[in-house]
Amino acid sequence: MNTKSYTYSTANLTDTELKEQGNNYFTTKNFEDAIHCYSKAITKNPNNPVYFTNRALCYLKLKQWNEAAKDCRSALEIDNSVVKAHFFLGQCLIELEQFDDAIAYLQRAHDISKAQKQNFGDDIAAQIRFARKKRWSELEEKRILQESKFQSYLSRFLCQIYLRLVE
């Protein structure tokens, strides 16, 4: 038995109507029901990348990074010029700590938005800066750890030399 209750049956709705119903749920932050509607729209019309990016945004809001990334990739398979798919995928990859890939997708979103003369304000550029900062921090942590290990090794080595000289 289905434990979810929806406002009305979605069986007879078109994919566009399902998308609109999903948008209504999304607006009220009812992300699970929005996902349900977008999923049904995808079943009825799996060639519309908007349905995948809308569902991906719901997954982003629910912090389900892998599911969101999967939907973004599906949207990009249909149409590789969908700015939102690149942008959302970049955001997912930041959360999954795949910073180089995140930067690449975000940069692609930025380039496409410029080419299509779409204005996303500073959203894309801010995410690129954020991803670069996270990547730099991760690399810096690794460098500090390596430096610490090297200093420890060098200290032990110098102690051994000193002990040999003292004997």
Instruction: Give the contacts of 2 (CB within 8 A, at least 6 positions apart).
Output: none
Q: What is the pLDDT of residue 1?
A: 38
Q: What is the pLDDT of residue 120?
A: 82
Going by C-alpha positions, the residue among 61, 48, 131 that lies closest to residue 90 is 131
Domains in the chain (CATH in brackets) are 47-166 (1.25.40.10)
Going by C-alpha positions, the residue among 115, 135, 114 that lies closest to residue 125 is 114
Contact 60, 91 (CB under 8 A): yes
Q: What residue ranges of the chain have pLDDT lower than 50?
A: 1-6
Q: What is the pLDDT of residue 9?
A: 64
| Residue linked to tokens 């995928």 | 89
CA distance 105 to 108: 5
Contact 145, 166 (CB under 8 A): no
Taking only the tens place, the pLDDT of each residue in 153-165 is 888 988 888 888 8
Q: What is the pLDDT of residue 70?
A: 98
| Residue linked to tokens 């249909």 | 78
